[in-house]
Each structure stands twice: as C-alpha cells, then as structure tokens.
Amino acid sequence: MKKKKICMVGDFSVGKTSLTQKFVNNVFSDKYLTTVGVKIDTVEVMDTKLVVWDVAGRDSLSPINASYLVGAAGVILVADGTRKSTVEGLHEIWDTVAGRIGEVPCVVALNKADLDDWNVDEGKINDFKNRGWSVFESSAKDGIAVEALFNALVEKL
Amino acid sequence: MNQLDELRDIIVGDSSEQLAELKERIENVEQRTSDVAEVLSPAIDKEVRSGNPTLAIALQKPVSLGLKRAIRSEPEEYAEILYPVMAPSIRRAIAQAISSMMVTINRTIESATTVQGLSLRYQSLRSGIPYGELALRKSLLYRVEHVYLIHRDTGMAIESVHGDDKNLLDTDAIGAMFSAIQSFVQESFSQDDSGRLTDLKVGDQNVWVAHGPKAMLACVIRGEAPVSLKRELYDTLDAVRTGFGNAIVDFDGDCSAFDGVDELLQPLLLSELKDNLTANSKGSSSKNQSWGPLILGFFCLAMALYFAFQFFINSSKVSTVEHFLRETPGVATTALYWSDGKLVVEGLQDPDAVIPYETLKSYDIHQEDLEFNMIPFRSLELDMELQRFRTELSLPRGVYLSVRNNKIELYGKSPLRWLLENDVRIRQLAADRRLSIAELSPSLVSVSDILISSFPRDILRTLSMSEVVRDERTVLEIGGQMDAVNLALLQAMFAGNRWVMVTASAR
C-alpha cells in the first residue's frame, strides 16, 4: 500500500481538526496542536494510506508553520463557510503552501455547511474551481462530504 | 546418373555421403539421444563455470517439481538419506531449547524466592505490568526496543523493526510525529538549519537519532546504552544509503523498493544484561552464590507450607469436633478454639450426655487434646429424655420406650408390681406431657397371680378380666359376681389402684 503525507491547512477555528476527527485513526492527543503546532493522524483511503498532518490554524499572531508542509503530496485547504475572511484567506495560505512545496494537488473544504449563516460567494467558488481545485461544502458536525473530500484528494495524488 | 547428379558430384564430391550420414543422425532418435548425452554433461559444466545464471533459472522449476514428486513417491528413502544430516541439527536444537528452558526455570525460581523477586511481584501486582517484563527491565542494562527508518522530507516511516510488538502505535504516525517534533525543536531552538535533534530522554527511555541527508534512523532504547551504539546507528544508516540510496531519493510513499532493509535494521535491536545477571547465567562460581537465597527461599516456602498445613489440620479438627458434638444429644456448643495446644469447647452439656470420644479418636482427635468448659443443663431433646427414662425406670420385660410422632411413649404389658412401684413417677411424667402412657397396662398374668394367691379356685371361676380405656389410659377391669365377703376382700385388695378397676358385684 502506498503512503502519502497530506496537510490540512486553514485559518484558526475553521474546523480542520473536527473535520477529520471521526474519519481518521486518532493516534495522538489534540494537545499537540497547541504545543507542537501539528497533530498527526492516519487513514486508509482506497489503496492509499494517508498520513494526515493537521497543522495548527493561522491567526493574526502566528502564521502557518510552513516547515510542516515539507514533503506533503497534497493539501486540503479548509475555510469556515460562515466567515468570509477565512474563505478569502485561502489564496494567501495557498501562496505559502506553493512557495514552500510547489503546486501540489489540492482540494478545498468550505466547512460548517450545516449552519444557517452561510456566507460564500459563488464567484469565489468558481475562482477556486478555475485553479483546478475540487471544492466541497462540508460539515464536520453532520459528516457531510468528509469522506468525499479525502477521496477526491487521493484521486489527484 | 543424369547431368544434374554429375554436376553435384563434381561440386560437393564425397560430401553427399556425409550429408546422408548427418540426416540419418538427426532423424534417428536413439542416435540423437546418445549425441546429446555425450555433450550434456560438459555443456552444463561449462555453463556453471561461466557464472551465467540462465541455466540455473531454466532448471529451477523442473528440478523443484522433480524433487517434490520424488520425495512424495519415496518419502522413506529420502528421510533415510537426510537423517544423517538432519538428526544432529535437530538434536542440537532440542538440546539448546532444553538448556535455554533450564536457564529460564532456574532464573524464575531464583527470582521468585529472593527478596528482589518478591518485590518485583508486588510491583507487578501494583502496576499491572507483567512480572516477566518487569524482571527483564530490572535485569537489562539497556535494550533497543524499536528502530525506525524515517524519510526526512515526508516524515513517513520507510521501515521499522521492533523488539517487542506489544502496544505498538501506528509506525507512520510515530515517524511523522517524530519528524514534526524534529522540525519544531529545530525551528524553536536552533539558530540555523544545521542543528538537529539527536537525543531525547523520556523516563528510562532514550531516543537516539542518526541523521542522513534524506533519511534518519531513530531508535528507542530502554536503559543506558553505550555510546558505541551511536556509531552502529550511523554505520547502519550508511549501509541503508549504500544499498537503497536511489530508493530513498525517489521515495514517493511506495515502500516496496525497500525489501530487505529490515535485515539491515534488525541487528540494531541489541540488548545487554547487567554484569551480575550475565554472570549469574553463565559463570559456575556465581551459581554457588545463588544457593544462599535459594535455600532461604526454599526454607521460607517449606515453613509457609508447614504452617498452612497445620492451619488446615487444626481447622479441620475444629470442624470435625463441632460436627460430632452438634450430633450428640444433650450438648450445645457456643465456641471452639485452640488454646495452648488444646481444642477448647465451650457451651452447655446435659449431665447424661455422652461425649463421642471413640468416634473422635478415629479422626485422630484424642480425649487429652480436648478441654471442655461446659455449663450443665437439662436437655429436653427426645433422645436425651429417652436415655434418661431408660436409666431411671429400669423397664421390666414387656414394657418398652420409643418415640412415636415426635413423642416418647411408654407402652406394653407390665407386671402390676412394677406399675405400682413407679406409679407416682410415671403419672408425674405423663402429667408433664413428657411421656405418653395410653398403651401401658398391667399384664393379666401379674394380676391373676395375685388373685390366685388370695381366692379359692371356685370363686375365681366367677370372675372375668378385660382391658378397658379410662381417661386415656388402659386399665384392667375385674368383673363377675361373688359373695359379699369375698367381694369386699377383692375391693380392698385393689382399693386406690389406678391400674386395676373392680366392677364385680355381690351375688
């Protein structure tokens, strides 16, 4: 079985950890996110074993630790569909990713699709799609599109 | 011969005969077989010498199939052929296994009977860690438990080997997390990219890391390993780079290119026993040193067994005595205990109760082993009452005591004299409802004897005797007719007698 490193990146509190929590094999405690800044999980998707690096979210004080991205075969960009700034911030995050590891396969998760105050422009989604990224409106709470998200990334790897 | 044949003869001459001969050799199977047999052996020999593996590869399958078929068809013959080769190896392996088992047993006994062994057992009980694991930890100077070959960029574990496969976490997650910590430490504490995490210490475990440009080798060590192990780590990493350099550079998550790398990592799973323990398992002189604790251990064990046996014997004696005294009428025990080597029995005892010493003797419990501190009491148990009445009343022939319907009955035909002698006591017992006398009556013979001695025969002929029930008792009734004088005499004889009633009348 092939093994691939992938990274989950996005702003702080967009639901990266929640998104994967029920899908992956939780090996380590969540406390590593706040201490080391990354949490490692593994999951088998189709014929590939993914080593998922859940990188601590970006906020106004601390940028994404790009050293954790090295060696990643693909990334999942995660944004909060109810917070416009996190969706718009994905371009900047992508620039960090591409600057460090190149233009690796990527899928976008617009998370918290179960909430009523959804605030994502169709234009923004099209913008993502034009870059060749698959876009999923996901919900960590209801488990919507979580598996599809990983499947789509594995197909691109 | 036509012109064409002539021309052929001119050109090829005698060759036509040779061609015919060749044709014959090719078409004749027997001849061809002989030809091949002639060259086969030198051909094989030449091929083997040339080092070309083609022949070996070509022969591999047919030889293997042929061998299998031959062994299946003649297993006994092959067993006989292989016996001289296999038997010594098997013997050696068995001897080694037995020897190893003896050493293990020896160590187990040794460790189980020493203070340290008992302490380890206690720790094992308290912590839940198996005793063997604890004992090994104590006896080890160090042990390499896990070795991970990690791809530097992706942090993925290319290969890992483990000395103990219990409680293993996902090796890829471990490798990745280790790589993450490596990046974290490097970024947090190192001024440049050259600084790398080479040592980690967690409790009694150490993690040592050898770094290469594209891969790193991490090993988890329990205890204190010698510094020379680091050199071995780097040597191993070099060997991996030499053998799998391209595979490491091209690594994209597919580990199939690393077949055999585990054989390079396996020798790193080293361990070393502490000096004294190593000596214990090898040196004969130190074997003698282990006799002391061993003998002490056996002595303690023997003492413990002796006391356990004594406790068991004493407990069973108490149970036996308690059981038989409970079955003894007129005895009620309240406490049984050992004091100064004697079994003390406390309780109540009827003076007429008989302690079953003989029965207890058959259980190796002697009268002198027992001490009775009993308070006397009168038992109303039926068995006791029965025994008491038998002693007190001295029953004559024809009179019996028995228990019927949970009540003691005195019944039968009694001599009138005995009835009169015991009349007061019998009536008293009957009044107390301790005795039933409904079927007790004087015997005809005893009353007749009195009458015969007092009256002439012709008068006796006029009398009759019969048993009648009066006031729930059986009495003897004397009826008939007689003259007034004898009647008065008869009535006087039995006046006040509750057992004989005179109903005879005057003529």
pLDDT in tens, B94-111: 877 776 677 667 666 666
**List of residues 6+ apart from B381 with CB closer than 8 A:** B329, B330
Partners of B248 on chain A (C-beta within 8 Å) are none
* Cα gap B269→B1, rounded to integer Å: 90
Count H helices and E strands in chain B, helices first.
20, 16
Report DSSP state, residue A115: S
pLDDT digit string, tens, across residues B144-188:
888 899 988 888 888 888 876 556 678 888 888 888 888 888 777
Residue A64: the pLDDT is 80
pLDDT tens digits, residue range B37-67?
A: 889 888 888 888 888 888 888 888 899 999 8
The beta-carbon neighbor of A51 closest among B172, B184, B186 is B172
CB atoms within 10 A of CB B250: 10
SS3 B334: strand
Q: What is the architecture of the domain spanning A2-156? A: 3-Layer(aba) Sandwich (3.40)
* Rounded Cα gap, residues B147 and B220, in angstroms: 6
Bigger pLDDT: B232 vs A27: B232
Those residues with Cβ within 8 angstroms of residue B148's Cβ, 6 or more apart along the chain or in another chain? B157, B159, B160, B171, B174, B175, B178, B217, B218, B219
Single-letter amino acid code for the residue at B264 = L
Q: Taking a C-beta distance cutoff of 8 angstroms, is the pair A110, A137 a contact?
A: yes
* pLDDT-wise least confident of B210-214, B287-291, B462-466: B287-291
Contacts (Cβ under 8 Å, ≥6 apart) of B62: none
Q: Verify whether the Cβ–Cβ distance A73 to B172 is below 8 Å.
A: no
pLDDT tens, position by position, B413-445: 999 999 999 988 888 888 887 888 888 999 988
What is the tens place of the pLDDT at every residue in A55-92? 888 776 677 888 889 889 999 999 999 988 899 889 88
Is there a contact between B407 and B378 (Cβ–Cβ < 8 Å)? no
What mean pLDDT comes out for the span B490-497? 88
Surface-to-core class of residue B39, CB atoms within 10 Å of its CB (0-12 exposed, 13-18 middle, 19+ buried) = exposed
Mean pLDDT score, B83-90: 76
Q: How many other CB atoms sit within 10 Å of the CB of residue A55?
A: 25
- Please give the model's pTM, rounded to 2 decimal places: 0.46
User: Rounded CA gap, B450 and B461, in Å?
Assistant: 15
- A5/B176 Cβ within 8 A: yes
Are B154 and A32 within 8 A, CB to CB? no
The residue of chain B with its CA nearest to that of A38 is B180
Show which residues on chain A lie within 8 Å of chain B, measured between beta carbons.
2-5, 25, 27-28, 32, 36-38, 40-42, 48-49, 51, 53, 65, 67-68, 70-73
Residue B288's pLDDT is 46
